Structure 1
């Protein structure tokens, strides 16, 4: 791969305004070409690009194309920065009117140096907000696609699409379907802007000469015009990769543009060493529906603020994953202490095969690591180039272990929120349905946890969520239909769980195998769960709490008929029986180890709490987490 840095522009506007500035603050910059002006962190703008591409492992050679007017500046820069002076190409132009045009400058290097390799082209005078992205990731994405590559970014608020080349990108294939060079305001719906940052395959290089033969006027020899012709008319396959950062100083800009964006980007960089992000995800209770969405059923679940997982991300020199002192113990009081903790905490490892290898949040460090790995993999595949920033991750959680409240997925969910915030990944890049699938894949693909989507969906959407996982929906769109429901005036729900639960993962038994084999009892039961969910949705919308209570009780009895008492276990049955003694509706909120109830008579709440506590259970009144009435779950 050859890299060509273009700095042959005649920045007459910026240069003129620097010379005419009466304050004297910029007199020392008079006559300096735009690419050699101070950039973020005091480095010259071109210094950043040279540091980015100066690696023999990726580029066999790097060329710099300038003009005759500024050639001596770049020759001096090359000598001072260990850039091969012989690779500084002079296009011979001295004025804006006499310029060759960006595409012609590229063709000059290719022709004069007889290049026949794949080429990366970058405008060396662009100011970039985050100046340390992973150029190797860009090249890997380019090599994975059967075509050319155009880098784009999402316009920041206030930026006009009429000042940029606008691309429309297919979200599934990442192919650029349309290129609009500086369209009139309102013409383009897309806010994705292309910059002079491209990769061209060697087989495509002849198209450059063909394009120039069709463009005798220099004003039409810009890269925007070239890509507009290549994509819209020649219909060559061009793919887009997003850099989640801002770009400025593109084209003819003035002194006010330079000082404004330099101050903004410098402020961002100065604040970045102390950048700290804290995100929470909440435990959930299943209020109604099938015990696992792996049966293409329906369910309603609610996130609760009583229990949460919190992940903190702080920018650091190296990437560090910090173990939790309780959940990832590495220090013990004695060998006996190690033995007792390992016997108790490690019981989950011995209860089953890999299907419950990391059930619950036991060993949360693995969850952090798997999420980071999957995140990088996802961004690379989806055409998102990440900055080369490092961070330290640590987590905390108060979600009780092994009682089916989605503790492990809460840690993954909170970690993903931190990573998205840190790398400026937006809702457009990772929509909520895709995010839920991502969290599930972290657990199933990376850690071999038996899991379904419903926990991940409610932790992504938060609040009270209706979920339909019908096979047709899953096949057609890759995810179900997820609807956030009104949380105002909810009845009083309570939660009780075993203080020393057994492995909740065993609660699923062999029901899935029976369902896959078409056993009528199981198939009809799953249809019944879906019907109960739709009826509960109506009850919630109509605030018919007595009806909702009936449906919750029916939900448990249907589950009991399919799973059997032996599978449900004596602890779960004991809690259900105890709740019914006080007239409370009750069901399992997850895979087992806990029960959730709806208490119509709050006068009995104190007595019921006492009875559960005397039975060795933990009892609490549920505090629903309503995202619309709460602060953001992430804090910077």
Structure 2
């Protein structure tokens, strides 16, 4: 029997529990401020989740009617329950339950009988007959309500209904109101659904909260529904017994009641966890690193179907620590991104400090890198039938000492380190996702998910480690989604050094105009990218012969070609000054990335003067505020 379930989450009145939480200013409850009562945790899960897990097996269609204020909360809840986002209906600001149901009826063109339950209904599916199954068997207009029995446990109440037929008189309705807090559920026949719009046009129709005897309050959605049922020609109640955690519906439930009675109500429904029942459980932290890189030749042609040579270096790195959730954690499957006090500050010593840090570091944060990485990883595994056990969650944090915004691949190092952590945690191997594809997926996290302008070079070298020659020939990239990569012998490299600016600027800005010029087919740009590719091939040959003089000459050509295409204004005075100082001290240098740093090597004629030249270069750079380091190549990134 086809049946539609509507979950009404449109009551406008704030419950006592929600008010109490808003008045609590401790860290424990701040995360629940503004959260609808039905989404507060009961035994570690939102109250609604406990019975939705049963509902979606029973009903063909389920809709949640929310308000403009609560919609985002339900949207977030839906993301964790495979609940279709289009089935969350935003009613704006509710004009009553009948108006909301009429809205759903019109928008979703509901033709069959409708089952209606309040969102903060809470019951124990594991005990007695199930409310949702009983409700689905109902036909026509039926009301299921609760009559408290003296001495019963206030948490778990027996449901008793009176059997009857014919018109539900006002006297019957008043008796119902006086004997219960509010009805549990309704069934509305398809013929009555068609009368909703006519009912709403009645001049005396209005929805309002109604106070009854004692401290009992009927929420407007319940009062509105009962008023509508009074107008129907045939209403019945079904005689059925089942067990329910009914009292949570009471809008006067306080925070004290919640902590004492409801917060852990269904703990007995959670089977104890053990390594035997969760064989894939992990207990040890996973720590991974991904190092900075320098582009030695060919960059920036990696973003233009060119060729590059890149080197991973040991000097700087990003490190990710994943801490698996313990078996005892209530929210065993949850994932938490822990803030990095330097990269993602949430605490500032003063408003002046906040302003200075915002001006210096900008507003981008590393949390979004981890979040995007998780999304790309999970989506790829899902689409390619790579089985991962997602029952266990984790906490994760990152640290990085890679200088920011100087073109050393700091952001991709964070994502790559986390990517490697996810591979280990979920037991995914390089056979499941080959290294070339991993690099492309990491790029996707930045480029497609976050809109960061980037090329494949950084992700490839951080996936492979060592020294890698990369060919991004267009036909191959278009066909496979990645280029052709070759590991080279790092022992053939000359000694290298790195210098970078103390006050860097956005490393992504330099690419913008050139990318558009390349897309437009500008001959000078197209030819420059061809030259970069050729320089890279020549550099590979020079290293194989250990011809360091030739390699130095190619580095100079790489820089000169880049300067001709980008222009001095784009390259920035500080970058050009580092190149000039290198030349003055018998060295050659080029940009290792998109700007803010230079990578260089000594190119003098008398080997006896090497150390002196490099020492004087270091002092000259440091005097003008630059940082100088000798590069330590890293053979791999394991």
Report the TM-score range of the alignment, normalised by the length of the smaller protein.
0.5 to 0.7
CA distance in 2, matches of 1:520, 1:276: 53
Instruction: Quote the offset at 1:59 in angstroms.
Output: 4.4
| Aligned counterpart for 2:373 among listed residues 365, 371, 374 | 371
Q: In structure 2, what is the equivalent of residue 324 of structure 1?
A: 340
Q: In structure 2, what is the equivalent of residue 388 of structure 1?
A: 391
Over residues 435-483 of structure 1, what are the superposed CA-to-partner deviations in whole Å (9 max), with x where a residue is unaligned? 0111011011211101111111111111100000011111232211011
Matched, 1:56 2:59: no
Over residues 216-261 of structure 1, what are the superposed CA-to-partner deviations in whole Å (9 max), with x where a residue is unaligned? xxxxxxxxxxxxxxxxxxxxxxxxxxxxxxxxxxxxxxxxxxxxxx
Return closer, same or farther for 1:266/1:391 CA change in 2, 3 Å cut-off: closer
Tell me the SS of whatever aligns to 1:339: helix
Alignment of 1:564-579 (within 5 A): 564-579=567-582
Q: In structure 2, what is the equivalent of residue 291 of structure 1?
A: 300
- Count of residue correspondences: 369
CA distance in 1, matches of 2:535, 2:308: 9
Instruction: Quote the offset at 1:292 in angstroms.
Output: 3.9
| Aligned counterpart for 2:487 among listed residues 468, 471, 484 | 484
CA distance in 1, matches of 2:381, 2:361: 34
Alignment of 1:412-451 (within 5 A): 412-451=415-454
Instruction: Quote the offset at 1:290 in angstroms.
Output: 3.2
Return closer, same or farther for 1:530/1:425 CA change in 2, 3 Å cut-off: same
Instruction: Quote the offset at 1:599 in angstroms.
Output: 1.7
Instruction: Quote the offset at 1:423 in angstroms.
Output: 0.4
Over residues 202-225 of structure 1, what are the superposed CA-to-partner deviations in whole Å (9 max), with x where a residue is unaligned? xxxxxxxxxxxxxxxxxxxxxxxx
- Give the alignment's TM-score, normalised by structure 2: 0.55
Tell me the SS of whatever aligns to 1:467: strand
Q: In structure 2, what is the equivalent of residue 342 of structure 1?
A: 358
Instruction: Quote the offset at 1:327 in angstroms.
Output: 1.0
Tell me the SS of whatever aligns to 2:490: coil
Q: In structure 1, what is the equivalent of residue 531 of structure 2?
A: 528
CA distance in 2, matches of 1:414, 1:436: 12
Return closer, same or farther for 1:509/1:375 CA change in 2, 3 Å cut-off: closer
Over residues 12-44 of structure 1, what are the superposed CA-to-partner deviations in whole Å (9 max), with x where a residue is unaligned? xxxxxxxxxxxxxxxxxxxxxxxxxxxxxxxxx
Alignment of 1:535-554 (within 5 A): 535-554=538-557
CA distance in 1, matches of 2:275, 2:351: 52
CA distance in 2, matches of 1:596, 1:526: 20
Q: In structure 2, what is the equivalent of residue 611 of structure 1?
A: 620
Q: In structure 1, what is the equivalent of residue 312 of structure 2?
A: 303
Gaps of 5+ in 1: 1-53, 62-80, 85-264, 350-357
CA distance in 1, matches of 2:483, 2:277: 39
Instruction: Quote the offset at 1:294 in angstroms.
Output: 1.8
Tell me the SS of whatever aligns to 2:479: helix
CA distance in 1, matches of 2:369, 2:511: 22
Return closer, same or farther for 1:439/1:458 CA change in 2, 3 Å cut-off: same
Larger of the two Rg values belongs to structure:
2
CA distance in 2, matches of 1:533, 1:327: 34
In 2, are the aligned partners of 1:292 and 1:454 still within 8 Å (CA)? no
Q: In structure 2, what is the equivalent of residue 42 of structure 1?
A: none
Instruction: Quote the offset at 1:60 in angstroms.
Output: 5.1
Matched, 1:515 2:513: no
Tell me the SS of whatever aligns to 2:394: strand
CA distance in 1, matches of 2:338, 2:459: 24
Instruction: Quote the offset at 1:314 in angstroms.
Output: 0.9
Return closer, same or farther for 1:489/1:479 CA change in 2, 3 Å cut-off: closer
Alignment of 1:17-166 (within 5 A): 55-57=53-55, 59=57
Return closer, same or farther for 1:540/1:423 CA change in 2, 3 Å cut-off: same
Q: In structure 2, what is the equivalent of residue 558 of structure 1?
A: 561
CA distance in 1, matches of 2:285, 2:568: 48
Pick which of 466-475 and 500-509 moved more.
500-509
In 2, are the aligned partners of 1:321 and 1:365 still within 8 Å (CA)? yes
Return closer, same or farther for 1:339/1:266 CA change in 2, 3 Å cut-off: closer
Instruction: Quote the offset at 1:271 in angstroms.
Output: 9.5
Instruction: Quote the offset at 1:588 in angstroms.
Output: 0.3
Matched, 1:274 2:276: no
Tell me the SS of whatever aligns to 1:377: helix
Return closer, same or farther for 1:270/1:299 CA change in 2, 3 Å cut-off: same
In 2, are the aligned partners of 1:465 and 1:485 still within 8 Å (CA)? yes
> How large is the Cα RMSD of the aligned pairs?
2.8
In 2, are the aligned partners of 1:509 and 1:567 still within 8 Å (CA)? no
CA distance in 1, matches of 2:277, 2:423: 17
Instruction: Quote the offset at 1:309 in angstroms.
Output: 0.4
Instruction: Quote the offset at 1:274 in angstroms.
Output: 2.6
Return closer, same or farther for 1:303/1:410 CA change in 2, 3 Å cut-off: same
Gaps of 5+ in 2: 1-51, 60-125, 130-273, 326-331
Alignment of 1:221-260 (within 5 A): none
Tell me the SS of whatever aligns to 1:518: coil
Instruction: Quote the offset at 1:381 in angstroms.
Output: 1.1
In 1, are the aligned partners of 2:498 and 2:630 still within 8 Å (CA)? yes
In 2, are the aligned partners of 1:288 and 1:532 still within 8 Å (CA)? yes
Tell me the SS of whatever aligns to 1:451: coil
Over residues 33-77 of structure 1, what are the superposed CA-to-partner deviations in whole Å (9 max), with x where a residue is unaligned? xxxxxxxxxxxxxxxxxxxxx95356459xxxxxxxxxxxxxxxx
In 1, are the aligned partners of 2:301 and 2:533 still within 8 Å (CA)? no
